Amino acid sequence: MKKAVILLSGGLDSATIIYVAKSKGYKPYCLIFDYGQRHRKEINQAKRIAEHTKSKYYLVKIDLPWGGSSLLDKTKNIPKNRSIDHKDIPSTYVPARNIIFLSFAASYAEALGAEAVFIGANAVDYSGYPDCRPEFFDSYQAALKKGMKQGVEGNSVKIFTPLLNKTKAQIIKMGVKLKVPYHMTWSCYVGASRPCGECDSCILRQKGFDSAGVVDPVIKI
């Protein structure tokens, strides 16, 4: 069976791509990152999802002591109820996060003998992070072809971004068909018992479920 490395955060999008990868005949191998984020709830949910799908996973600890994001520095406020403008990069952006994560994933893929890396990045209903845009992934793929053994031998690890140009509603509808356990996912930037409903991630998630005509199972009515 084909092997794929999955970048798993515990959120809606990354949970969906495990099922997308499985539907395409890949056996998933997950990477979950503890990079000093504000709470561990998303990490715990990521583990649950990996175990639910019977996927092997590594929890990778990364120290980013220089901060640079309100997701890393609890003295900074998480933006709430803001009007999301893709040209305005919010304080929740973590410097070079996807570059770092994809580098680990590419290394793991090459060592594993996997031909693919799946990441649940989205450039439609998103907060405007530069490392979630199509041009970034095109450039990163080119770098892998030049900077890895598999790449220079003509068999580069392929970065798959199946959700990149889909709306949250389209992603959710796809996930429902694939039976993604959305009740296990966590998107909120705040690690409370319930989603805050006010951060960018909560707003985009709720917009997606509303537009898809599906009740978010994480929200208790």
For residue 21, is pLDDT > 60? yes
Q: In the prediction, which pLDDT does 9 show? A: 96
Q: What is the pTM of this model?
A: 0.95
The 3-class secondary structure across the chain, one letter per residue, is: CEEEEEECCCCHHHHHHHHHHHHCCEEEEEEEEECCCCCCHHHHHHHHHHHHCCCEEEEEECCCCCCCCCCCCCCCCCCCCCCCCCCCCCCCCCCCHHHHHHHHHHHHHHHHCCCEEECCCCCCCCCCCHHHCHHHHHHHHHHHHHHCHHHHCCCCCEEECCCCCCCHHHHHHHHHHHCCCHHHCCCCCCCCCCCCCCCHHHHHHHHHHHHHCCCCCCCCC
pLDDT in tens, 116-175: 999 999 999 888 899 999 999 999 999 999 999 999 999 999 999 999 999 999 999 999
Structural domains present in the chain: 2-212 (3.40.50.620)
